[in-house]
Structure 1
Amino acid sequence: MGSKAEKILFDNNSRVAPLGLLAMDNAKELGEKVNWYLTNWANENEYAVDTFLVEADCPRFSSGDGKGLIKQTVRGNDLFILCDVGNYNIKYNLFGQLNCMSPDDHFQDLKRLIQAASGKTHRINVIMPTLYGGRQHRRNYRESLDCAVALQELQAMGVSNILTFDAHDPRVQNAIPLMGFDNIIPSYQVLKAMFRNIDNFKPNKDHYMIVSPDEGAINRNMYYASILGVDLGMFYKRRDYSTVVNGRNPIVAHEYMGNDVAGKDIFVADDIISSGESMLDIAIELKKRKAGRIFCYATYPIFTNGLEQFNKAYADGIIDGVFGTNLTYRTPELLASPWFHEVDCAKYIAYYIASLNHDLSISNVIDPHSKIQALLKKYEIK
């Protein structure tokens, strides 16, 4: 979107209602970036405003009980609540012990703030990049359906729209068919970051190839392959379904299916890098097949087992770079790693908020096809 579109977004007469952005403590950094874009666009287009941020807090008693507190009026506002349920760096005292907040704690605080709004807002929209309970999205045995129930809770509390990024399984929106649910894939932002950070980057059929890490990630990788016009390969994860380790069936082997990868740069995209072991196993298998440089991407680079394995893999030439968004908490150690490159999605979120606040179509925001084509043309990629 250019300046003309941004001017339309801040036509004061076409807003649904006054805009409010409530960035919870778990998403302060991202919220401030989003607010910077929104306020700049508004001020550049003759709509003077200091900030759209709404001051709020979720204090806790020493017993662990909490409450939501909104410190200014939100009456009549089109309120957007930004929440990162994956931020484990937020801590609180419980009977004298320091505890890291879990996704459950963050989700409870989100509901507290919705309660604190007391039904006075014009509309409540939740931006939850990491979808709460998203990895527990389907039932196989006698087990919970956390994500579906959470979405129904938010609907019952009066939330009108939910925005998430790269949901583990977007079909979970079937639990709330009458509520707005948008699942955004930041493909354009990823490619833009790759052009900026990779030397001699040539994403064409002769030099580049997409490889899906498993069958579950095939759609997101298929999109990159289709829009770039390059070959697509895939790994099949052979699992031992007779045992469960850390809540999952362990992977026995990665079986590759696809064209020859020899000499080509490889891009492997997934929604989450958790322990990262699977991604590194795939990189090793690709190197055995004489692949060139290997670049990994995950919307949520959480690295639950730390960075040591990736530091070693980078030093040994197994991987050449890892890309991840700023949609969830990243440790200072990760941000300082020479192999990690951040994908900034703040402007993307700001466009979404501004469009929805003016009841404009968000098709152009969600579908990055034209932007990617312009990016490829800029760098003369054929």
Structure 2
Amino acid sequence: MEGRLQVFSGNSNIALAREITTHLHLNLGRALVGQFKNGETRVKIEENVRGSDVFVIQSMCAPVDHHLMELLIMIDALRRASARRITAVVPYYGYAKQEKKTTGREPITAKLVANLIATAGADRLLTMDLHAPAIEGFFDIPVDHLQAGPLLVDYMRDKHLSAPVVVSPDAGGVGRANRFRERLGASLAIIAKQRPEPDVSEVIEMVGDVEGKTAIIVDDMISTGGTLVEAARVLQERGARRVFACATHGIFAGAAFDQIADSPLEEIIVTNTIPLPPEAQAARIRTISVAALFAEAIMRIHKDLSLSTLFM
């Protein structure tokens, strides 16, 4: 790729953006990203980007709508400033839970957001652990889909847990849990659940033996924590000696921290795709950085190199 490599960031996860640029031995690009007095998002790129290969780092975490608008407006500003190529780096892709219609008269917001990013002027997307892999197909631009699984597996392997069993908290996550199990060298258990309404889950049954073992619940995100806490209690009732949880995206909405604090979970491991508040540490939550992985992916994209080795 001809042109300079420049990295900019919105306000959603500045700490991660700075860590990524540190790995790249770059300074974070100067940009004014704020609000007008009427509440509208204000963006001004304060560096020359003409002919540059530009990466915009922005997670779609709370407030989701505001951070989404920051991303779209930054992309538009860079396009109008004649950047040669613009890559949207979205560590956490929001609106991903509505990737299909479950009843009539519902939107498919994951597709809508994909359209917005492409229409704003992004040439490609770099993201991590989409809630539904099919979302990648919603884009008509190239998508590089990183996985945090190997990083989480390395962390759990270093704990030298006895008789580990990897648990999928729902049928949709079996593939993810099985890949985790293969890397860790553990057995597999599956919890079947149903959702009577949004953000509410009920455990129906469990397949697999967890008695006397160390259970590791693996998921892509933790939203309200309800599914996670209920799964942990079921595992404890089935005889699991210890219960851990691993997830890429720690959203922790509503009273999630209070629920987790009162649960059998010994430790929860998430990545820093979403910044966590100080109270997360009190809830036995640990964070693994994905900055080095994103930095490597950005450099490989910039140099037109393969990213396949990052998916192993």
TM bucket, shorter chain = over 0.9
In structure 1, the partner of 2:247 is 298
Shift of 1:251: 3.2
Which is richer in strand?
Answer: 2
Q: Is the 8 A contact 1:16 1:359 kept in 2?
A: no
In structure 1, the partner of 2:65 is 104
1:218 aligns with 2:174: yes
Q: Is the 8 A contact 1:24 1:57 kept in 2?
A: no
Counterpart CA distance in 2 for 1:239 and 1:74 is: 47
In structure 2, the partner of 1:256 is 206
In structure 1, the partner of 2:88 is 126
In structure 2, the partner of 1:55 is 30
In structure 2, the partner of 1:114 is 75
Q: Is the 8 A contact 1:238 1:251 kept in 2?
A: yes
Q: Deviations over 1:175-202 (max 9, x none)?
A: 22x4111222111211222345x3x435
In structure 1, the partner of 2:282 is 337
1:159 aligns with 2:122: yes
Q: Give, as a single letter, the amino acid of the residue that structure 2 aligns with 1:265.
A: T
* Residue identity (%): 25
Q: Is the 8 A contact 1:262 1:292 kept in 2?
A: yes
In structure 1, the partner of 2:156 is 194
Q: Is the 8 A contact 2:24 2:299 kept in 1?
A: yes
In structure 1, the partner of 2:17 is 31
Shift of 1:85: 1.5
Q: Deviations over 1:297-340 (max 9, x none)?
A: 12111221241222222xxxx12110011010201110x32622
Shift of 1:239: 4.1
Q: Deviations over 1:121-147 (max 9, x none)?
A: 110001111113111111232111212
1:289 aligns with 2:238: yes
Q: Is the 8 A contact 2:7 2:21 kept in 1?
A: yes
Q: Is the 8 A contact 1:136 1:145 kept in 2?
A: yes
Shift of 1:166: 1.0
Counterpart CA distance in 2 for 1:319 and 1:252 is: 18
Shift of 1:232: 1.1
Alignment equivalent of 1:363, drawn from 289, 308, 312? 308
Q: Give, as a single letter, the amino acid of the residue that structure 2 aligns with 1:267.
A: I
1:19 aligns with 2:28: no
1:136 aligns with 2:82: no
Q: Is the 8 A contact 1:326 1:343 kept in 2?
A: yes
Q: Is the 8 A contact 1:236 1:255 kept in 2?
A: yes
Shift of 1:255: 0.8
Q: Give, as a single letter, the amino acid of the residue that structure 1 aligns with 2:68.
A: F
Query: Structure 1 residues 284, 361: CA separation in 2 closer, same or farther (over 3 Å shift)?
Result: same
Q: Is the 8 A contact 2:49 2:81 kept in 1?
A: no
**Alignment TM-score, normalising by the size of structure 2:** 0.93
Q: Give, as a single letter, the amino acid of the residue that structure 2 aligns with 1:166.
A: D
Secondary structure of 1:298 counterpart: strand
Q: Give, as a single letter, the amino acid of the residue that structure 1 aligns with 2:301.
A: L
Counterpart CA distance in 2 for 1:252 and 1:56 is: 46
Counterpart CA distance in 2 for 1:147 and 1:251 is: 21
Q: Deviations over 1:193-217 (max 9, x none)?
A: 2345x3x435xxxx11111000111
Secondary structure of 2:86 counterpart: strand
1:323 aligns with 2:269: yes
Q: Give, as a single letter, the amino acid of the residue that structure 1 aligns with 2:217.
A: V
The count of corresponding residues between Structure 1 and Structure 2 is: 309
- Give the superposed CA RMSD: 1.7
Unpaired runs of 5+ residues, structure 2, are none
Which has the greater radius of gyration?
1
**Alignment TM-score, normalising by the size of structure 1:** 0.77
Counterpart CA distance in 2 for 1:272 and 1:365 is: 21
Q: Which stretches of structure 1, 4 residues or longer, exceed 6 Å deviation after superposition?
A: none
Equivalence map 1:268-283=2 (5 Å) = 268-283=217-232
Q: Is the 8 A contact 2:86 2:123 kept in 1?
A: yes
Counterpart CA distance in 2 for 1:320 and 1:275 is: 18
In structure 2, the partner of 1:171 is 134
Q: Is the 8 A contact 1:68 1:115 kept in 2?
A: no
Counterpart CA distance in 2 for 1:238 and 1:144 is: 21
Shift of 1:223: 0.4
Query: Structure 1 residues 185, 19: CA separation in 2 closer, same or farther (over 3 Å shift)?
Result: same
Counterpart CA distance in 2 for 1:347 and 1:16 is: 23
Q: Deviations over 1:96-126 (max 9, x none)?
A: xxxxxx2111111111111211151110001
Secondary structure of 1:32 counterpart: helix
In structure 2, the partner of 1:69 is 44
